[in-house]
Structure 1
Amino acid sequence: MKLKRYIHIIILLPALSVFSCGQEEKEEQKEKVTVAEVLEKEISFSRTFPATTVALEEVELRADVVGYVTGIFIKEGQQVRKGQLLYQIDPTRYQARKEQAAAAVSIAEGNFERIKKDFERYERLKAEDAIASQIYDNALIELRNAEQELNAAKSELENTSIDLQYASIYAPFDGTIGFSMVRMGSLVNPGESLLNIISRDNPMGADFFPEERYLTKFQELANYEDALADSIFLLRLTDGTEYPKPGEIEILDRAVNRNTGTVQIRLKFDNSDKKLRPGMSATLIVKDTQKDNVRLVPQSAIKEQMGEFSVFVVENDEVKQVKVKTGRNFQDYRVIEEGLEPGQKVIVKGLQKVQDGDKVEIIEEKDS
């Protein structure tokens, strides 16, 4: 009996020793986590809206007279100057009509002058009571008819001059011309045949359609004098680059669209470097004019579960899970409306490995 009891003691001692060592290792082992401080800053928030660039001035060049295209003096896609000749429609018939109308005016002027002199002579005779009233009245009617014929001839000359002028199409302003819709020898008709489209390059517009709830804000910004200086309106292009020049409100539509609940707003951007072209897609960034004092934590510190948000706060090397009320995003940070105080340390790396009450070894992450 004594032997068996001794053997039991020998077996139990090593087991107790192993258990004790494992417990000490567990107590000494701590997860390493990276933390960051809760920041308090004054920042300006911004909102984004999809936008499309548009030409503030764009004209469809159409034929105003019938005829064949006899001259194309542009290279498609080139920049043109105001008054530059772009297209020529055969002017031969219009030149002939103008000369014919000019001749008719000359004849009508001669006839009018002859009748006028006769009438002036009849007027003197009538004053001396040396002519019948009927002759005087007929002379007056003949003079008025001659005057009307002269005016009609002058109107015809003006119309033929306009037709001849419309046979040559000039650039109405400085801008960029598009693809030509006609070729040499094409027959064009007035008001129907589109020749080309020209748009002004600078400044350039950008249209966007915010919801009705933003209308009051944009009405205020429409009267904001420092929109350019404060860079309130910025464009981010599809390649991710930010257009370097800020814009300002050009037009705020008169009414809200009943079908979409949005209002059309057009901005104006300096485009002297010709980087913007009509029809480009972009993201409009609208900055707030006032700064808000907010508390921020990196977005990597936020944990979401069942629609609730929380963070792991480290105090005295011990983890504490805290529920928070979050606000808007700002760059790589999230606004904390409730639950945290400035200066508290929250876990940003390693939060998947810890639980409420764990002891941790922290590594500071400095705010950049």
Structure 2
Amino acid sequence: MQRFGKNKIVPSALIVAVVLTGLVLVSGCRDNNPPPQRPAPEVGVVTIEEQPVALTTELPGRAAPFLMADIRPQVNGIIQKRLFEEGAMVKAGQVLYQIDPAQFEAVYAAAKAALDRSQSNLASVQARADRYRELLAAKAVSQQDVDDADAALSQVRADIEYWKSELEKAGINLNYTRVTAPISGRIGRSSVTAGAVVTAYQPVPLSTIVQLNPIYVDVTQSSSELLRLGRDLETGKITNGTDATKKVRILLEDGTPYPHEGTLQFRDVTVDPSTGSYVLRVKVPNPEQVLMPGMFVRAVVMEGTAPRAILAPQQGVARNTKGEPLALVVNSDNVIKQRILTVERAIGNQWLVLSGLSAGDRVVVEGQLNIRPDMTVKPIPADIPSSGETPAPAPSN
């Protein structure tokens, strides 16, 4: 018994009953109002569409001169002068070296004198032969005299032709003492100085001239890629044959895009057995002469166009423990499903998907950390900006 005030006494059993009744009422209220369920998580999705895509491949290559000429002497002699500045532009026909012409001038003069002597004898020998023919009719000379006169005339005529050829040869050799540029372009360093002895067609060139505008870029591609490209063209997976497929973008050695676009000239007709690759030659404008022969570059070559390509955003593609590409897709019931993909290459910020996705699929690109397969979600369209970056190498499947 407990006392409250002076005269009121409340039994302990009554207090316990009141407390128990309150607990029962509170428990009943909780059973009638269950806790609210968590809402479905929101995820950003991108709807896959088929679209034409230009397919390119990035290949290594080196710059090569459009024209190149090694300067070699064509006669023996001593260099008198060098008549150009190393590294300067020269024009075709410009004199580069002067070889001592003294002995060649003497040979030319001797040949000219011999020709003049033969030509001066021609008139008298011709007249003698004519008189002997007239005298033969009157039987004043014998036939032998006439034959000797005709032979002498033929000899003089042959001597004239011989000395004409000797004079021409001497003139050619004399001209060769002036070593000229066979092409226009930029000339390199000189391997000789004044006073050096040179020989005709020596193995070491005096200098080299290269034409740098335009310039060639020779790139290599594996023969297996050539076979794959041929199969894709036959099956219609990609299309080709337009002028755009001949355009080639050039990347410099440091990755900087080259400002001028090249044109594919031809593909080599043989495969290098040591590397299993063949050469593609690209003609590139080079007005600023940024590209130099031997410089390493990369060429972005157009393969063709995939008319119905499937592209998936890279941020929506992950990899499992086996290294296989996978994507989370929201089905028609807004339930997450996992797809294993086969991807060929990266194009900008997207993967080119060969299998695993089709047009209309909704791929999750945002909120992947809060979901798992077979979970119901609330899809919201996501805005993924396109990227104009150079295509990256294709990942391994």
User: How much identity, in percent, do the aligned residues show?
Assistant: 27
**Contact persistence 1:232–1:289 (CA under 8 A):** no
Residues 215 and 184 (structure 1), Cα distance of their counterparts in 2 relative to 1, 3 Å cut: farther
Match of 1:253 in 2: 268
Task: Report how far residue 39 of structure 1 moved.
Answer: 4.2
Structure 2-normalised TM-score? 0.75
Q: How far does residue 177 in structure 1 lie from its aligned partner after superposition?
A: 0.7
Q: Structure 1 residues 349, 67: closer, same or farther in 2, change over 3 A?
A: farther
Three-state SS of the structure 2 residue aligned to 1:290 is: strand
Matched, 1:233 2:244: no
Could you tell me how far 1:249 is from its partner in structure 2?
Answer: 3.9
> Aligned residue pairs: how many?
347
Q: 1:156 to 1:174 in 2, by over 3 A?
A: same
- In 1: Cα distance, 2:357 partner to 2:228 partner: 33
The within-5 A match list for 1:1-368 is 28=38, 35-192=45-202, 193-213=204-224, 214=226, 227=243, 232-305=247-320, 306-314=322-330, 319-348=336-365, 351=368, 354-357=371-374, 365-368=382-385
Whole-Å separation in 2 of the counterparts to 1:139 and 1:279: 69
Flag the 1:47–1:71 CA change in 2: closer, same or farther, 3 A. same
Long gaps (5+) in structure 2 = 1-12, 14-19, 21-34, 234-239, 386-397
| 8 Å contact from structure 2 (residues 89, 184) kept in 1 | yes
| Whole-angstrom distance in 2 between the partners of 1:28 and 1:309 | 31
Letter of the 2:55 counterpart = F
SS of residue paired to 1:138: helix
User: Which secondary structure does the structure 2 equivalent of 1:104 belong to?
Assistant: helix
Distance change in 2, residues 1:254/1:313 (3 Å)? closer
Q: Distance in 2 between matches of 1:352 and 1:215?
A: 42
Residues of 2 paired with 1:298 and 1:217: CA distance?
Answer: 25
Higher relative contact order (CA 8 A, sep 6+): 1
Cα distance in 2 between the residues matched to 1:324 and 1:62:
62
For the pair shown, the structure with the greater C-alpha radius of gyration is 2
Which stretch shifts more, 209-218 or 295-304?
Answer: 209-218
CA RMSD of superposed structures (Å): 3.5
Report if the CA contact (8 A) 1:231-1:246 is conserved.
no
Could you say what secondary structure the match of 1:105 adopts?
Answer: helix
Report the TM-score, using the length of structure 1 for normalisation. 0.80
